Amino acid sequence: MALDRTDLRRSAVPLHSGSVHDSVSHSPAHRRPLSFSAIGSPLPAGSATTTAVSPTGSAPLAFALSSPVERYRLKASRGLIERVVARRDGSESRSCVRLGPEPLCDHSQDKLAERYDGEFLRAAVRPRHASRAREVRVADLFAGCGVMSLGLWEACRAVSARMVPVLAVDFNEVPLAVYRSNFPEALTMASPIERLVDGELGAQVTATERALLSQIGRVDILIGGPPCQGHSNLNNHTRRRDSKNALYAKMARFAEIAQPTHVVIENVTAVRHDRGRVVDRTIAHLHTLGYAVDHGIVEAVGVGVAQRRRRHFVVASRDVTPNVASLNTIYERPERSVMWAIGDLKRGTGAGDFDTASTPSATNAARIEQLFRDRLYDLPDEARPDCHRLRAHTYKSVYGRLRPDAPAQTITSGFLSMGQGRYVHPTRKRLITPHEAARLQFVPDFFSFSAAPGRTALAEMIGNAVPSKLAYVVGLELLR
């Protein structure tokens, strides 16, 4: 029996006028483009352009970015930097961070944005939301420790809204404990998602699913990063054949039963080549549910993350027409270096695992010493293990040292070992700490990892996270 979605629709406070929860047809005419648009008008000089294909398959629409989405202002007398976000209705939202003692000589927009983000990362206390902020209710499947939710939390703050995390699901209780410590109001469930969302696509709502919906109420935004090991190019054993790849479609099933206004699915770029065509099937089903859908790659380093990391996003909405590729232009920032992100964290020996570097073996300690003695960033083959020394390899960055004036390479859960990647500190004879890895993942200091039971758990949850800035730019384009 097919699912009757009309019976499931619940009343809701709309995120914008013309929200999905209004009783209107979800034709393209009722959706607003996901960027500043000047359709049919001349493009102003120097403006960037992007294109999006309408859900009906008609010719692409041209969008002119005639005004920046984000602007920054220095409020020196109050010790603040203000971020101003342009809303689609012509209004503006403002949010601030406190300015540290370092002088700020360059007041260009790029430098103000860089300083704003730097102060955000170093903030020990969570910034406040605007008073009387509207609620944005969020469900996070495959939640991990909550870094993707963190990015959406900051996007809500940027538009004078308040994120209400109504559900976080992960099969592992360890990262969920960290999620709970940062978002205590959320209902957290340590369970495989297929036990909670147990219906097939297009099927009638099951008793289990109905019970879940009754606990969480309205959902405005569904986010999730399904397990990606089966898709990752780093996985040579089960690449693109892993049975966990089918969990990706659970995002579409949850959208089917919960009826969120927006859906955001994040994964590694290789997910597009899954042999089961899970992305294509998920997108097709979201289209049948009335969503406008787009997918594409967002470059972390291009939007202000001090790390080279490319992620694939499927973005679906009943309120705007998504254009994922345009995010790389709308939120483009100059590259930021490793030392921009971690330069104030130099000791590597703190009170706990979070601020303490792992102790290398005697052999690896000698390799670190050689990197600094010879002023190298790549370890010569003759100093590597036999598997590298005696045969050709493509693992140049392994056993390497981070460059202080360039972005980091992709941070993975292996950052505790120099044999897993380029994880030696740029200026200190040691590996990076979990704290430094979190900074490179755009996780601010106020985000607590105190519930993590040890260094290995820290490495897994930090390395498996998506940089929060990526979730921020996606969320901001949906909400502004």
Give the three-state DSSP class for 219. Answer: coil
Which residues is 267 bridged to in the sheet?
312
Other residues' Cβ atoms within 10 Å of the Cβ of residue 209: 22
Quote the tokens at residue 234.
């780093």
**What CA–CA distance (Å, rounded) separates 65 from 42?**
12
CA separation (Å) from 279 to 100, 252, 299, 323?
44, 10, 19, 16
8 CB-contact burial (10 Å; exposed 0-12 / middle 13-18 / buried 19+):
middle
| Of 96, 145, 156, 228, catalytic | 228
Which residues is 52 bridged to in the sheet?
61
CB-based contact 322:352 (threshold 8 Å): no
Look at residues 441, 404, 407, 399 and name the one whose alpha carbon lies nearest to residue 424: 399
**What CA–CA distance (Å, rounded) separates 317 from 321?**
7
Number of alpha helices (DSSP H) and beta strands (DSSP E) in the chain: 15, 14
**What CA–CA distance (Å, rounded) separates 315 from 2?**
25
Work out the end-to-end distance of the chain between its first and last CA atoms, rounded to an integer number of angstroms.
Answer: 38
Question: Does 387 participate in catalysis according to the annotation?
Answer: no
Centroid of chain to Cα 388: 34
Q: What share of the chain is helix, strand, coil (3-state, %, to 5)?
A: 35, 20, 50
Quote the tokens at residue 129.
């939301």
The β-bridge relationship of strands 292-299 and 310-317 is antiparallel
**What CA–CA distance (Å, rounded) separates 452 from 238?**
29
Tracing tokens 């460059």 back to the chain, one arrives at 403
CB-based contact 330:322 (threshold 8 Å): no
**What CA–CA distance (Å, rounded) separates 318 from 171?**
29
CB-based contact 230:242 (threshold 8 Å): yes
**What CA–CA distance (Å, rounded) separates 465 from 150?**
11
Helical (H) or strand (E) element with 190? strand 187-190
- Categorise residue 37: left if φ over 0, alpha if ψ from -120 to 50, beta otherwise: beta
Position 55, amino acid: P
Q: Which residues are catalytically annotated?
A: 228
